[in-house]
A and B are shown apart, each in its own frame.
Chain A
Amino acid sequence: MSQVIEEDQRIIEFDVRTDEMLVNMGPQHPSTHGVLRLVLRTDGEIVSELEPHIGYLHRCAEKIGENLTARQWIPYTDRMDYLAAMNMNLGWSLAVEKLMQYEVSEKARHLRVLIAELGRIASHLVGMGAYGLDLGTFSPFLYAFREREKILDLFEEACGARLTYSYITVGGLTADLPPGWLQRCEAFLEQFEPIIREYHTLLTTNAIFVKRTAGIGVLSPEMAVDYGCTGPVLRGSGVDIDMRRDGESIYTAMYDGYAFEVAVMKDGHYPRDHEYPAVPVDAVLGDCWHRFFVRMLEVVQSMDLVRQAIDRYSRCKGPLGEPLKLAEKLPAGDAYLETECPKGQMGFYLVGDGSAIPWRVRARSSSFSNLAVAPELCRGCLIADVPAVVGSLDIVMGEIDR
């Protein structure tokens, strides 16, 4: 890391020292994704130190969880990663099911995959659009939201809500899909596919975008593992871990029989299951560009998974199954489960004491660990790189502060 800084041509005139300035970036700042406060120590444009201050969105969600039954806490998980609430629901539901050793029906399992992967697409679309915004281009943000809206329309049809779904719940899902939903979902995928190329033109391969992201905020695989980074941030550094493949059996069983290749650079290349733009020469494994690119690949990967799930779900006979009772008693014991959420590995921990209300509820947020690495990445960069780096981590404050 230090070597990178020394060779960096941007940093000139180290001997002309001026006074350092302390700047508050946030909590009311356009590019801090909510209420993150970054305290920057800057020397002119150069950031010598960055310190994230969190807690502006703390709502005691975990403590609330210790006063509600497992199913009643589902709406609170919606408000963690509110951009991928479906995946949050799924994480908590699976953790509770793991404690109860409960298995959902085959149909519910495929529907969960379908919904979770759509949720992943929706989340990555925001991540992509907002990243464009961080770099000063507004249009991709709206293009991303245009497509996200269509996913939200589908979700709304399925569960009635557009942001906080509480759709996937302990023991299954609250409702089955309405008639015609699968066709509409397929139609969406059909028209969405060519649009991804548009995103690649506007951002991924755009010369200015590459200039702003390639080689910036390089996160080495070792550091990524040390800081507990997960999800696209970890895979962007070339570490081949994806909970959908490497997780606990209750989670990987969900994806049993699904064909997908983890979006990670292996042997110098990304999966070749689709046409992807070439990696620019300036890009270094683990930089902002790679983190962004992994997300873009995961969108395509999720589309494949959704297609497979639609196929399997429609072939499933039999009922979807009812979710568990609201006040279903939890067995004594504890369970911890990490699932692959769009932002990274989201872990839920709960301790049951025989009553319906868990004795302890804890959540492990991926964004929290991913943000923790930001001070390392931003040391010695320019002020303009701070949004670029923090944006590439794709954090959600609702999940960090809980």
Chain B
Amino acid sequence: MAEFLMNTVGLPTWLAWSVTAGVAAFLILNVIAGGALVFIWAERKIAARIQDRLGPTRTGGRFGWLQSLADGIKLLAKEDLMPDGADTLLFRLAPYVSFCASFCAFIAMPFAFDVVGQRLNVGVFFVIAVLGLEVFGVILAGYASASKWSLFGAMREAAQVVSYEVPLGMCVVVPVMLAGSMDLVTIGEKQAGWLTNWYLFHDPFTFVIFWVYFTCAVASVNRAPFDLAEAESELVAGFHTEYSGLRWSFFFMAEYGSMFLVSGLAAVLFLGGWNGPIPIAELAGWSDGSAVTAPYAVRLLGCANLLAKATVGVLLMMWIRWTLPRLRIDQVMTTCLKYCTPIAAAMFAGVMLWQLFLPGGLLPGGRRTAIAVREGWLEQAVEKPEDSSAVSTDAGSSVSQQLAGVAER
């Protein structure tokens, strides 16, 4: 899109890039915020169904699908309260820190092949690092609220999230190792084809590590049974006890955004990303570029695939939340330090050895060979300069690239 603006419309470079970035940011923000609204509605419906209730039924027709919007309007209209002793600046800042961290991470999140805000060659690292910033918002909120309950929540959050970053990082490294790249798009691409190409089914170790990843992901986004930071039966509402109205809803949006992010990340890293279980596009011959609309159809299908997988992850988290009791803080730490970390480390070593000795898998005539794996690394090394040049000259979002393509045609 940037080229289109520069070459066809004739905008100066800086303006073209700014417009492109604005469009990309707008798209990401709205897709995710809209998604969060949908997930909030879904959570209410799912919780209701699990608990033998109906949930929202009136706002916006039979299924109450406008409920989250109505709630949002209600929250807007609410009085913005701040405790007397609160640290004004930090209290105001905290929700935005959480919100930004959660939503910024989507920049590197691919929704389909090159439908990505910004393709980064360190995409995995970026997502994990930025998501890790969310905890600052929570700690700030707990500290600035001048409430003891909030402080407890913040303390718990700090201890928990920092601990869970370790096994989470180990789990995330496994697909990186298999793909030989930290680029999320590359990782997704490597899993193209049939279901069996997904890293989940790469070898037994990756299968185990996926579940470790999911556990750690649930813990790092503070969902039950690890929702200690806001444990309502112990800490009233934890870190957001003193928040009301829109500020509170920012925390809420951040939580749902993060849930969606870690589920999407799970989909890209382990579940084939935007590649469906059956390569419909290839079988139908869409990917050979014979039809003009084919690439778009493929990408649309990819988006649908990824969103479906991420949604399944989110729904799984909701199911867990409405079924299980909450763990205690020491049990949460035990789960992390005594189980998740060693298991993740062992599985990491296992995958490494598997790659070394059984790169083709147990079946004869496996697709991957040791040479192919090495070639993968080489390929990456060779690609890198291209990548970096591509990034520097073509740094607009891939959505914009598509739009540019449409415009050119």
Contact = CB atoms under 8 A, between A and B. Distances in A.
Contact of B233 (A21, A133, A208, A382): A133
Chain B interface size range: 20 to 34
Contacts of B329: 45, 382, 384
B323 A384 contact: no
B330 A29 contact: no
Interface in B305-332: 322-331
Given A136-B224, A136-B225, A142-B51, A387 B233 contact: yes
Interface residues of A, number: 32
A135 B50 contact: no
A277 interface: no
B242 to A, nearest CB: 14
B116 to A, nearest CB: 37
Interface in A153-209: 202-203, 206, 208-209
Contacts of B149: 23
Contacts of B231: 136, 384
Nearest to A10: B330
Interface in A351-402: 382-387
Interface string A119-147: 00000000000001111111100110010
Contact of A208 (B47, B50, B327): B327
B79 interface: no
Contact of A134 (B152, B233, B331): B233
Contacts of A21: 148
Contact of B51 (A138, A206, A211): A138
B52 A206 contact: no
A55 interface: no
B51 A29 contact: no
Given A31-B233, A135-B233, A382 B148 contact: no
Contact of B50 (A139, A209, A384): A139
A142 B52 contact: yes
Interface string A3-40: 00000001000000000010100000111000000000
A136 B325 contact: yes
B282 interface: no
Interface in B190-230: 224-225, 227-228
A383 B330 CA distance: 11
B236 interface: yes
A364 B28 CA distance: 63
Given A133-B233, A382-B329, A142 B53 contact: yes
Nearest to A203: B325
A288 to B, nearest CB: 12
B71 interface: no
Contacts of A98: none
A138 B47 CA distance: 9
A212 interface: yes
Contact of A212 (B52, B53, B152, B327): B327
B51 A212 contact: no
A382 B235 CA distance: 12
Contact of A206 (B228, B233, B325): B325
A397 B323 CA distance: 28
Given A30-B233, A383-B152, A384-B231, A136 B326 contact: yes
A211 B324 CA distance: 12
Contact of A211 (B47, B227, B331): B331
Contacts of A209: 325
A137 B152 contact: no
Contact of A29 (B225, B236, B325): B236
B332 to A, nearest CB: 10
Contacts of A133: 233
A31 B326 CA distance: 14
B386 interface: no
A142 to B, nearest CB: 4
Given A10-B330, A135-B326, A383-B235, 15 more contacts: A23-B148, A44-B155, A135-B325, A139-B322, A139-B323, A146-B52, A202-B323, A206-B325, A208-B225, A208-B325, A208-B326, A382-B330, A384-B228, A384-B326, A387-B233
Nearest 9 CB-CB pairs, A to B?
A: A136-B326, A135-B325, A31-B233, A142-B51, A137-B325, A384-B328, A10-B330, A208-B325, A139-B51
12 contacts: A10-B330, A45-B155, A45-B156, A136-B232, A137-B325, A138-B51, A208-B324, A208-B325, A212-B325, A382-B329, A384-B326, A385-B328
